[in-house]
Structure 1
Amino acid sequence: MMAPARAAALIVALGATQAYAADIGYLAPPGAPAKEFPSPQRPVAQIVSPSRSAEEHRDSLNEAGEIARLLELKPGMTVGDIGAGSGYHTVRLSPLVGSTGSVVAEDVTRNYLIELAKRTERLKLTNVKFALGEPHDPRLPASSLDAAILVHMYHEIAQPYAFLYNLAPALKPGAWVGIVDLERPTSEHGTPIELLRCELSAVGYREIATHQLAGDGGYLAVFSPPEEAGRKSPRDIVACGDRAGTR
């Protein structure tokens, strides 16, 4: 039989989890449906963990600092942490953007967001919002982000063309998208840079710069989103083939 104190603690924890779950949902109406877009012509990696590697290791490489510096993230900005997972970047971006800015932690896995909400409460981070997304749509409000980062998760997006198309309206004029990944096949949890360039270009994104991060951090590719007036129709998007991504 379970001890009364332990049973009471479990009831409290369950109630807290249910409360967090009730606060986490879609922040915007659905965008264009997945069926209107081509599917990727390469493997999609499975989501296996909310974190890429130990945070201490990532801190030793100054991963968060380098990305923030290269993307020129500043106080007052609203930054989307797309595929936030356990929140490595969310909790580091929060103090950077400050009380006049905010971080939108987006993920398609609800339980990751629930755990991240608990983490931000423990850390007393009050400028973080949570957004449940779909594999083809981040479900973010129009013109809400000054920048978006997708860190070591692009290869896990099941419908990349639809996702990128539906992400674009959430970006303010002049916003940048920073994608961090490894130069390896998508089946091995990376994205060859030429494949990444092709897929983003297919949706109308324009490459600004590419940077090599320290250690095993991979690359940071920076893109500007397509302007609303010049955005392609979903039926005009042609999927990229990639031999490197299918090995």
Structure 2
Amino acid sequence: MRTTSAIFAALALAACSPGAARDADPAAQARAPGGFPKPDRPVAQIVADTFSSGPDRDAADESGQLIRGLGIRPGMAVADIGAGAGYHTLRLSPAVGANGVVYAEDIVEHYVSGLRREAERRGLKNVRIIVGAPDDPKLPAGGVDRAVLVHMYHEVENPYALLWNLAPALRTGGRVGVIDVDRPTQNHGTPPALLECEFEAVGYRMVDFQRLEGGLGYLAVFEPPAANARPKPHDIQACRAPAA
């Protein structure tokens, strides 16, 4: 995978600026059930079961860029969080092969119901459907090598809770990859500095960042926290979104 020091330096500077800082007083923040902070930024509405039409994503080889960027290999267990209609699930399935598994997770049950039928029609026996919750993807503990969140992070209602509950599902050496567009969350994107700040608030560490070819945004890759390194929900501080 590529690591661009200039990009990391720019992200680090932005993450420390007032526009992407953490609130200094956790007790003063609005809290969601479980004690997690609510995001201090707009949450985009779920408007469709797919980011865009297939041809433009196919032309840019979005799935290929994701697979290469995350080092996805045969035999791996990959979680497609917010799978929707399954654009990536259907392409990840052959990438992990017969000895691998793709957990297609979404909180909208009729999206994954349609994906289940399509996977069965194609004979993809390594696809497992999971109906998650807004704050918990409900993945098997220690059962995932790679988790991907593609063009949907800005729609996550409880990002801190979701990331906290995702961490135990990741195996040693596991990685989380986020594809999104660099624009405000209310415009269906996530500024990279804000994304890094929110992941770091839950104990994750960015290990790679790259701009995707074809104008599809960026891929940010994170290492999850160890079990004893996850902060307690009440200790997590929300990040402030950069000024529009």
CA separation in 1, counterparts of 2:85 and 2:240? 32
1:241 aligns with 2:240: yes
> Displacement, 1:36?
1.3
Using structure 1 for the length normalisation, give the TM-score.
0.85
The residue number in structure 2 matching 1:129 is 128
Runs of 4+ in 1 over 6 A off after TM superposition: none
- Deviation readout 1:63-90 (Å, 9 max, x if unpaired): 0001101111000000000000010100
1:78 aligns with 2:74: no
Runs (5+) with no aligned partner, structure 1 = 1-32
> Displacement, 1:216?
2.2
Query: Which amino acid is 1:231 matched to?
Result: R
Contact conserved, 2:81 with 2:147, CA < 8 A, in 1?
Answer: yes
CA separation in 2, counterparts of 1:215 and 1:209? 19
The residue number in structure 2 matching 1:181 is 180
The residue number in structure 2 matching 1:17 is none
Q: What's the secondary structure of 1:88's corresponding residue? A: coil
Larger Rg: 1
CA separation in 2, counterparts of 1:157 and 1:134? 10
The residue number in structure 2 matching 1:200 is 199
Runs (5+) with no aligned partner, structure 2 = 1-31
> Displacement, 1:139?
1.0
CA separation in 1, counterparts of 2:95 and 2:158? 31
> Displacement, 1:243?
3.0
CA separation in 1, counterparts of 2:110 and 2:33? 23
> Displacement, 1:122?
1.2
**Amino-acid identity (%):** 52
Query: Which amino acid is 2:130 matched to?
Result: A
> Displacement, 1:35?
3.3
CA separation in 1, counterparts of 2:166 and 2:34? 16
The residue number in structure 1 matching 2:208 is 209
CA separation in 2, counterparts of 1:63 and 1:187? 23
Query: Which amino acid is 1:119 matched to?
Result: E
Aligned residues: CA RMSD: 0.9
Using structure 2 for the length normalisation, give the TM-score.
0.86
Query: Which amino acid is 2:235 matched to?
Result: D
Q: What's the secondary structure of 2:99's corresponding residue? A: coil
Contact conserved, 2:104 with 2:128, CA < 8 A, in 1?
Answer: yes
CA separation in 2, counterparts of 1:38 and 1:111? 29
The residue number in structure 2 matching 1:105 is 104
The residue number in structure 1 matching 2:37 is 38
Equivalence map 1:29-178=2 (5 Å) = 34-178=33-177
Query: Which amino acid is 1:149 matched to?
Result: V
Contact conserved, 2:34 with 2:233, CA < 8 A, in 1?
Answer: no
Count of aligned pairs: 213
- Deviation readout 1:143-175 (Å, 9 max, x if unpaired): 010000000000000000000000000000110
Q: What's the secondary structure of 2:88's corresponding residue? A: helix
- Deviation readout 1:182-206 (Å, 9 max, x if unpaired): 0000000000000001000000000
Query: Which amino acid is 1:195 matched to?
Result: L
Query: Which amino acid is 1:240 matched to?
Result: C
Query: Which amino acid is 1:212 matched to?
Result: R
Contact conserved, 2:194 with 2:242, CA < 8 A, in 1?
Answer: no
CA separation in 2, counterparts of 1:46 and 1:35? 23
The residue number in structure 1 matching 2:23 is none
Query: Which amino acid is 2:109 matched to?
Result: R
The residue number in structure 1 matching 2:11 is none
Query: Which amino acid is 1:53 matched to?
Result: S
The residue number in structure 2 matching 1:222 is 221
CA separation in 2, counterparts of 1:232 and 1:243? 24
